[in-house]
């Protein structure tokens, strides 16, 4: 299937590792040009070098609204516009204290809203405008991440569906992808495996497939939803979890 992504201009936050990195890789493989960001400058440089000439990168914290606005404007100038935005960064804070709530709001919520708002003038000019926000299964079911992480992931689904309804007339689509447990070297689940083996075993036992997901499995779903091949899909939340969750979506 031709996803129609050749020459499309894409922004990916948190694009240096895990799901975000796989998203950037697949977009490039499909012929898109990508601007990615992440906090670590060395990791940004390495990602850009590996992904090749179709990629540019900037080191920034998405909680810094001014930095996000500058990155988006620079990306649009360098790429020649913006067609697709993928807000992927999360504070990944599953604590339930005031610090965790603030970090989750600043990064998960405002980091997403900031990049979407900043990109909107260019999305409005695109003939294939699409927003795909990375949420989580923790946003639709109560699990160990109840509290700020789950609450904000649920809020992102609501936010995206609101965007989909209000922007449909402008030809801008908005969807979310909700990954289940995703394992990759250096990721949160590897850290849990090494530091909390009993909890890791419990988490593994919850996966009917007998394994956790891979970043590229989440990324393929994201890239498809973002692409012109999914041109009539908007306002949906795509769960990619290997049957981990048990709630029924109607």
Per residue in 193-240, pLDDT tens? 999 999 899 999 999 999 999 999 999 999 999 999 999 999 999 999
136 is catalytic: yes
pLDDT(184) > 90: yes
Instruction: State the pLDDT confidence band at 95, using cuts at 50, 70 and 90.
Output: confident
Question: What gap in Å lies between CA 49 and CA 195, rounded to an integer?
Answer: 32
Residue ranges per domain, the chain? Answer: 9-184+214-240
Q: Is 135 a catalytic residue?
A: yes
Query: What is the Cα–Cα distance from 87 to 75, expressed in whole angstroms?
Result: 15
pLDDT on residue 248: 87
Instruction: Flag the least confident range among 15-29, 32-46, 140-154, 214-228.
Output: 140-154
Point out which residues pair with 179 in neighbouring strands: 240
Which position among 22, 35, 126, 135 bears the catalytic label? 135
pTM here is: 0.96
Selecting among 35, 90, 126, 136, the annotated active-site residue is 136
Catalytic residue among 153, 159, 183, 227: 153
Q: Which of 8, 22, 130, 149 is catalytic?
A: 149
Write down the mean pLDDT value for the chain.
96
146 counts as catalytic: no
Q: Which one-letter DSSP state was computed for residue 208? A: T
Question: Distance between CA 113 and CA 116 in Å, rounded?
Answer: 5
d(CA 112, CA 139): 15
Q: Which of 14, 60, 62 shows the shortest CA–CA distance to 34?
A: 14
For the question of residue 138 being annotated catalytic, the response is no
Question: What CATH code is assigned to 9-184+214-240?
Answer: 3.40.50.720
């Amino acid at each position: 299937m031709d996803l129609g992504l050749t020459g499309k201009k894409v922004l990916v936050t948190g694009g240096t590792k895990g799901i975000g990195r796989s998203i950037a890789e697949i977009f490039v493989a499909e012929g898109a040009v990508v601007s990615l960001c992440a906090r670590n400058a060395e990791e940004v440089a390495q990602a850009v070098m590996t992904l090749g000439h179709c990629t540019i990168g900037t080191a920034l914290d998405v909680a810094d609204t001014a930095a996000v606005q500058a990155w988006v404007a620079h990306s649009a100038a360098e790429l020649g516009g913006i067609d697709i935005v993928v807000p992927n960064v999360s504070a990944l804070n599953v604590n339930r204290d005031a610090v965790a709530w603030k970090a989750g709001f600043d990064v998960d919520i405002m980091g997403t809203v900031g990049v979407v708002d900043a990109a909107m003038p260019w999305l409005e000019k695109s003939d294939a405008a699409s927003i795909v926000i990375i949420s989580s299964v923790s946003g639709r079911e109560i699990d160990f991440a109840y509290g700020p992480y789950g609450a904000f992931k649920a809020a992102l689904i609501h936010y995206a569906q609101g965007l989909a309804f209000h922007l449909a007339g402008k030809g801008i689509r908005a969807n979310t992808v909700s990954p289940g447990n995703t394992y990759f070297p250096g990721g949160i689940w590897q850290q849990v495996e090494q530091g909390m083996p009993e909890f890791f075993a419990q988490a593994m036992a919850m996966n009917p497939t007998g394994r956790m997901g891979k970043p590229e499995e989440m990324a393929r779903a994201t890239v498809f939803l973002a692409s012109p091949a999914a041109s009539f899909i908007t306002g949906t939340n795509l769960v990619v979890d290997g049957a981990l969750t048990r709630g029924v979506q109607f």
